[in-house]
C-alpha cells in the first residue's frame, strides 16, 4: 500500500513517499524534485507537469496554471476576474457554475472545470509516485492552504476521487510543516514548545503558531495574506521593466501577452538572482517586434519597489501571535518554508518582528510534502510510525440555522457551532425538539472573511422520519455535526432520544417509563440533567480532545464516538444494563432509533463525479495510446534504418541477392510511407509493419548470429575436450 503526500503548490508541487527507511521526495520524469503545476492541451494529447512547462509559450492559450487559485471558485468571482485572470493565459469560462477554461484539445474546443483540471494534474502526480514506488498509488494526503473553505476543500477531494485516489486527509500547509518538524524532534513532556511556521510561496503567505509536546502538535492560531507571494514581486518587476522598455525600446510589452509572459519569466529569474546578489541583469531576446531587451537592477532598487508589500509582512505574524494568546517571548523559534522566504528583505522583516534569528531547519521546498507523507503514514493502517497527534483548527467560524416551530417560541434559530480556531476534527451534538422532519443549514458566520465571493452557504441537512411521540408530543432529536479531518463540515448522524427515570426497581422496564416521562414534560428536561439548555438546540457538546485514531478511512474521522460526552449523552438501548452506582430515581437519556439524514452541499454530486471520472479515464487512456503509438512509430523507423544499414554491410553475405533487393525495396517503401501517409497512423499499423519487416529481417539476423556464435561454440567444445 502506498503512503504518499502531495504538496499541491500554485507554481509547483512536490511528492513525498514514506518508506521503511524514512520519507523520500520523488523525482519526476526529468529528475526534478518539484513538478510545474500546469496542464496543457494539444491536438493529439494532454501534456501535464514538465511536458506542459515546455509548451507554455508555444501552446500559450491552451496551457493552464494557477490551478490552486481556481479550484472551488465561481467564474464570476471578482477575485477570479480581477486578480487571477491576469496570471492565466487560457480563456476562463463558466463550467457548470465553477470557473473553468476553454481550450483547444484534439482539434476542438473543450471546456474543463477547475476541479477537472486539478484532477488531471493530481493524476499526473499519482503516476509519478506510482512509477517510483512500482505499485499503484491510492492512499494520499494532500496539502491545502489554511484558508481554504468548505467548497474549496471539497473540490480537492472530488479531484482526488476523479483520479481514483483515496485522500486520507487534507492537511493545512503550515500544519504539514509543523508535523515534519515535530515528529523528528525531542519535545518537552509537559511545558509546550511554541514554534511559528511561516510559508510564503508563489501566491500566498500563511503563518501558524503551533504548540508541541511529546507526541502531539496543537495549532494555536493561523493567519494569512492570500495575495502575497512570489508572483506579486514578479509583477512589480514586470511593471518596472515594461515602463522602462516603453522609453528605451519604444515597445509596449503589456500589449503583447506572449511578450508579457516572457518578461515575467525573466523577472522571476532575476528576482531569484537578487536573493543572493546585490544586483542582477535582465535579458530577453526578441521579446517582441524582433527587439532584444536588456536591463539591470540592484537589490536595493528592488527592495524599494516592493516596499508596500514588505510593510504587509508583519500583519499576519501579529495577527497569529495575538490569536494564539502568546507573546513574542513565548516563541521558541521561527521556521520558514516556501520559495519566497528566500528574499533577504522578507526574512529581515520577519526576524525584526520577533526580535529573533530565524530557523531554516526544515527543507524550504519539501517540508510540506514530507509532512503530508508523514500524516499519510500515521493514518495508514499498514505503516508503523511514531504516534503523533495533529490537532488543527478551522480558519472560519461556522453557524447552524434552522426554522423555529410554534411550539417553542423562545427557541433560537441559529447557533455558532464552530467558532474560529475550533479544533479539527471535532463533533458537536445539537438537541432539537420536533415532531416532524426538519432541516438544518450550515453557513459560514462571517461571510466577509471568506476569500473573494465564495458563498457562505455550506450545506443543508434534512433530518428525516421525525415523528411526534406516541402522545403527539415533541420528540427529542440529537444531531451530530462534525468538522472532519479535512476541515469539511458534515452531519454525521441523527437519532431520537427519550428520557427515562431509572431506579433500582424500574431498571427492568425502561421503555415504558420513557413514554410516560415524555408525556408530561415534552420539551424540557429536569434540573437533574446535566445538559445546559435542553429545550433549545443551543445545547452543544464540544470536544476539545483530539480524536483518537482507531480505524482511519477516507473522508472519515475515525472514532467519532470518542468526541461524545460520556455523561450527557444518552446510552444506546443495548447498553441498558444497570448503571454502576445505581441511585434511586435518576433521569436518564436513552438513545432510540437512528434517523436518516440527507445532505445537500455545494460540492459535486456522485453522478457528476463518476462522469468526470470516466472522462478522465478516457483522456488518460488516450494520452497513453498517443505515447505508445509514438513509441511504436519510433521503433519501426529505427528498425528500418538499422537493418538497412546492416543488410548493406555486415549481414550482406547472409542474404540471397534477390531477397536482399526485395527487402531493401520494402524498407525504402516503409521509410517513404513513414514520411508520407504513415506520418500519423495508428499503433496497430506500426506494429504490423514492423512485424512484416521482421519476417524478412529476422532470418537474416538469425543466420548472421549463428555464424558469429559457431566459432565460439567450436572453440568452447575444443577447450572442453
Residues in contact with Mg ion by the rule CB under 5 A:
9, 201
Out of 5, 182, 192, 338, name the contact with ligand ATP by CB under 6 A.
338
Task: Choose the binding region for ligand ATP from 42-50, 338-346, 569-577, 666-674 (rule: CB under 6 A).
Answer: 338-346
- DSSP code per residue over 254-312: GG-HHHHHHHHHHHHHHHHHHHHSSEEEEEEEEEETTEEEEEEEEHHHHHHHTHHHHTT
Cβ distance 578 to 512 under 8 Å? no
Q: How far is the CB of 268 from ligand ATP (least distance, A)?
A: 5
Task: Name the binder of 204 from ligand ATP, Mg ion, none, CB < 5-8 A by kind.
Answer: ligand ATP
Q: Which residue is nearest to Mg ion (CB)?
A: 201
492 contact partners, CB below 8 Å, separation of at least 6: 427, 480, 481, 482, 560
- DSSP code per residue over 366-418: THHHHHHHHHHHHH-TT------EEEEE-SS-EEEEE---TT-TT--SEEEEE
Q: Is 456 in the site for ligand ATP (CB under 6 A)?
A: no
Q: Which residue is nearest to ligand ATP (CB)?
A: 230
Out of 3, 4, 11, 497, name the contact with ligand ATP by CB under 6 A.
11
Taking the least distance from each CB to Mg ion, the nearer of 337 and 619 is: 337
265 contact partners, CB below 8 Å, separation of at least 6: none
Q: Is 203 in the site for ligand ATP (CB under 6 A)?
A: yes
Task: Name the binder of 12 from Mg ion, ligand ATP, none, CB < 5-8 A by kind.
Answer: ligand ATP
Q: How far is the CB of 288 from ligand ATP (least distance, A)?
A: 23
* Positions 357 through 376 that interact with ligand ATP (CB under 6 A): 365
Cβ distance 100 to 116 under 8 Å? yes
Task: Name the binder of 546 from Mg ion, ligand ATP, none, CB < 5-8 A by kind.
Answer: none
Out of 154, 342, 347, 502, name the contact with ligand ATP by CB under 6 A.
342
DSSP letter at 547 equals P
Q: Is 480 in the site for ligand ATP (CB under 6 A)?
A: no
Q: How many residues bind ligand ATP (CB under 6 A)?
A: 22
Taking the least distance from each CB to ligand ATP, the nearer of 360 and 641 is: 360
Taking the least distance from each CB to ligand ATP, the nearer of 299 and 428 is: 299
Q: How far is the CB of 340 from ligand ATP (least distance, A)?
A: 4
Q: How far is the CB of 199 from Mg ion (least distance, A)?
A: 6
Q: How far is the CB of 349 from ligand ATP (least distance, A)?
A: 14
Task: Choose the binding region for ligand ATP from 107-115, 290-298, 333-341, 647-655 (rule: CB under 6 A).
Answer: 333-341
Q: Is 226 in the site for ligand ATP (CB under 6 A)?
A: no
Helices and strands, number each (H, E), in the chain: 17, 30
Number of residues written out for the chain: 721
319 contact partners, CB below 8 Å, separation of at least 6: 207, 221, 223
**What is the C-alpha separation between 177 and 185, in angstroms, rounded?**
13
Q: How far is the CB of 82 from Mg ion (least distance, A)?
A: 23
What are the φ/ψ torsions at residue 195 (nearest 5 degrees)?
-125, 140
Taking the least distance from each CB to Mg ion, the nearer of 51 and 369 is: 369
CA–CA distances in Å: residue 190 to residues 230, 333, 465: 39, 18, 48
Question: Residue 618, SS3?
Answer: helix
Q: How far is the CB of 341 from ligand ATP (least distance, A)?
A: 8
Cell 461571510 found at: 447
Window 260-289: contact mask with ligand ATP (x via CB under 6 A): --------x--xx--x--------------
Task: Choose the binding region for ligand ATP from 94-102, 202-210, 316-324, 456-464 (rule: CB under 6 A).
Answer: 202-210
Cα of first residue to Cα of last residue in the chain, in angstroms, is: 55
Q: How far is the CB of 52 from ligand ATP (least distance, A)?
A: 14
Cβ distance 654 to 704 under 8 Å? yes
All cell numbers assigned to 439: 432541516
Cβ distance 491 to 440 under 8 Å? yes
Q: Is 33 in the site for ligand ATP (CB under 6 A)?
A: no
Taking the least distance from each CB to Mg ion, the nearer of 201 and 493 is: 201
**What is the C-alpha separation between 139 and 595, in angstroms, rounded?**
31
Task: Choose the binding region for ligand ATP from 196-204, 286-294, 588-596, 600-608 (rule: CB under 6 A).
Answer: 196-204
Task: Name the binder of 456 from Mg ion, ligand ATP, none, CB < 5-8 A by kind.
Answer: none
Taking the least distance from each CB to Mg ion, the nearer of 7 and 623 is: 7
Out of 5, 72, 182, 229, name the contact with ligand ATP by CB under 6 A.
229
All cell numbers assigned to 497: 432520544
Q: How far is the CB of 235 from ligand ATP (least distance, A)?
A: 10
**What is the C-alpha separation between 336 and 517, in angstroms, rounded?**
60
Q: Is 540 in the site for ligand ATP (CB under 6 A)?
A: no
Cβ distance 425 to 483 under 8 Å? yes
All cell numbers assigned to 99: 470557473
Out of 2, 15, 45, 68, name the contact with ligand ATP by CB under 6 A.
68
Q: How far is the CB of 642 from Mg ion (least distance, A)?
A: 47
Task: Name the binder of 513 from ligand ATP, Mg ion, none, CB < 5-8 A by kind.
Answer: none
DSSP letter at 129 equals H
Taking the least distance from each CB to Mg ion, the nearer of 59 and 375 is: 375
Cβ distance 670 to 686 under 8 Å? no
Taking the least distance from each CB to Mg ion, the nearer of 367 and 466 is: 367
Label each residue of 155-185 as H, E or C: HHHHHHHHCCCEEEEEEEHHHHHHHHHHHCC
Task: Name the binder of 230 from ligand ATP, Mg ion, none, CB < 5-8 A by kind.
Answer: ligand ATP
CA–CA distances in Å: residue 587 to residues 513, 577, 584, 687: 10, 15, 9, 80
Q: Is 158 in the site for ligand ATP (CB under 6 A)?
A: no
Q: Which residues bind ligand ATP (CB under 6 A)?
A: 9-12, 68, 201-204, 229-231, 268, 271-272, 275, 338-340, 342-343, 365
Amino acid at each position: 500500500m502506498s503512503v504518499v503526500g502531495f504538496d499541491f503548490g500554485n507554481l509547483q508541487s512536490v511528492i513525498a513517499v514514506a518508506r521503511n527507511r524514512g520519507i523520500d521526495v520523488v523525482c519526476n520524469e526529468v529528475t526534478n524534485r518539484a513538478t510545474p503545476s500546469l496542464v496543457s492541451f494539444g491536438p493529439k494529447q494532454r501534456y501535464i507537469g514538465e511536458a506542459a512547462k515546455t509548451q507554455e509559450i508555444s501552446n500559450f492559450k491552451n496551457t493552464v496554471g494557477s490551478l490552486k487559485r481556481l479550484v472551488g471558485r465561481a467564474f464570476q468571482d471578482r477575485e477570479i476576474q480581477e486578480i487571477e485572470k491576469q496570471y492565466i493565459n487560457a480563456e476562463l469560462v463558466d463550467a457548470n457554475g465553477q470557473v473553468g477554461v476553454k481550450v483547444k484539445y484534439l482539434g476542438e474546443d473543450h471546456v474543463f472545470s477547475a476541479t477537472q483540471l486539478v484532477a488531471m494534474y493530481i493524476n499526473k502526480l499519482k503516476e509519478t509516485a506510482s512509477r517510483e514506488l512500482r505499485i499503484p498509488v491510492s492512499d494520499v494526503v494532500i496539502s491545502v492552504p489554511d484558508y481554504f473553505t468548505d467548497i474549496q476543500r471539497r473540490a480537492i477531494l472530488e479531484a482526488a476521487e476523479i483520479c481514483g485516489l483515496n485522500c486520507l486527509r487534507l492537511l493545512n500547509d503550515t500544519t504539514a510543516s509543523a508535523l515534519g518538524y515535530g515528529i523528528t524532534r525531542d519535545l518537552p513532556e509537559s511545558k509546550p514548545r511554541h514554534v511559528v511556521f511561516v510559508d510564503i510561496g508563489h501566491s500566498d503567505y500563511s503563518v501558524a503558531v503551533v504548540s508541541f509536546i511529546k507526541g502531539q502538535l496543537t495549532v494555536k492560531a493561523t493567519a494569512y495574506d492570500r495575495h502575497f507571494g512570489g508572483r506579486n514581486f514578479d509583477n512589480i518587476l514586470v511593471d518596472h521593466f515594461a515602463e522602462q522598455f516603453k522609453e528605451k525600446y519604444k515597445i509596449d510589452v503589456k500589449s503583447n501577452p506572449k511578450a508579457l509572459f516572457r518578461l515575467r519569466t525573466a523577472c522571476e529569474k532575476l528576482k531569484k538572482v537578487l536573493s543572493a546578489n546585490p544586483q542582477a541583469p535582465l535579458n530577453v531576446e526578441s521579446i517582441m517586434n524582433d527587439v532584444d531587451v536588456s536591463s539591470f537592477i540592484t537589490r536595493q532598487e528592488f527592495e524599494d519597489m516592493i516596499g508596500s508589500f514588505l510593510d504587509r509582512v508583519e500583519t499576519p505574524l501579529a495577527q497569529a501571535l495575538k490569536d494564539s494568546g502568546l507573546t513574542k517571548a513565548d516563541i521558541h523559534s521561527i521556521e520558514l518554508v516556501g520559495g519566497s522566504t528566500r528574499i533577504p528583505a522578507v526574512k529581515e522583516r520577519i526576524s525584526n518582528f520577533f526580535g529573533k534569528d530565524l530557523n531554516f531547519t526544515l527543507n524550504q521546498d519539501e517540508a510540506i510534502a514530507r509532512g503530508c507523507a508523514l500524516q499519510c503514514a500515521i493514518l495508514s493502517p499498514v505503516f508503523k510510525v511514531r504516534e503523533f497527534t495533529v490537532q488543527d483548527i478551522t480558519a472560519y467560524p461556522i453557524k447552524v440555522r434552522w426554522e423555529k416551530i410554534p411550539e417553542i417560541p423562545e427557541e433560537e434559530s441559529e447557533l455558532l457551532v464552530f467558532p474560529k480556531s475550533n479544533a479539527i476534527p471535532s463533533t458537536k451534538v445539537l438537541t432539537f425538539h420536533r415532531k416532524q422532519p426538519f432541516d438544518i443549514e450550515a453557513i459560514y458566520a462571517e461571510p466577509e472573511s471568506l476569500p473573494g465571493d465564495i458563498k457562505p452557504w455550506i450545506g443543508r441537512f434534512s433530518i428525516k422520519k421525525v415523528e411526534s411521540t406516541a402522545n403527539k408530543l415533541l420528540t427529542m432529536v440529537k444531531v451530530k455535526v462534525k468538522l472532519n479531518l479535512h476541515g469539511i463540515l458534515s452531519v454525521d448522524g441523527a437519532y431520537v432520544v427519550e428520557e427515562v427515570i431509572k431506579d433500582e426497581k424500574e431498571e427492568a422496564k425502561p421503555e415504558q417509563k420513557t413514554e410516560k416521562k415524555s408525556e408530561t414534560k415534552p420539551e424540557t428536561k429536569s434540573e437533574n440533567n446535566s445538559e445546559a439548555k435542553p429545550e433549545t438546540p443551543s445545547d452543544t457538546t464540544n470536544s476539545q480532545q483530539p480524536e483518537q485514531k482507531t480505524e482511519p478511512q477516507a473522508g472519515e474521522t475515525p472514532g467519532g464516538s470518542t468526541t461524545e460526552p460520556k455523561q450527557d449523552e444518552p446510552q444506546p438501548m443495548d447498553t441498558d444494563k444497570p448503571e454502576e452506582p445505581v441511585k434511586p430515581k435518576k433521569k436518564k437519556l436513552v438513545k432510540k432509533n437512528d434517523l436518516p439524514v440527507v445532505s445537500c452541499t455545494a460540492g459535486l454530486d456522485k453522478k457528476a463525479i463518476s462522469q468526470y471520472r470516466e472522462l478522465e479515464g478516457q483522456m488518460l487512456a488516450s494520452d497513453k495510446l498517443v505515447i505508445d503509438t509514438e513509441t511504436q512509430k519510433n521503433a519501426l523507423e529505427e528498425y528500418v534504418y538499422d537493418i538497412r544499414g546492416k543488410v548493406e554491410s555486415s549481414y550482406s553475405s547472409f542474404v540471397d541477392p534477390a531477397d536482399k533487393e526485395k527487402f531493401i525495396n520494402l524498407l525504402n517503401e516503409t521509410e517513404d510511407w513513414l514520411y508520407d501517409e504513415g506520418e500519423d497512423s495508428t499503433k496497430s499499423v506500426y506494429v504490423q509493419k514492423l512485424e512484416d519487416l521482421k519476417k524478412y529481417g529476422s532470418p537474416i539476423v538469425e543466420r548472421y548470429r549463428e555464424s558469429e556464435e559457431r566459432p565460439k561454440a567450436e572453440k568452447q567444445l575444443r577447450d572442453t575436450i
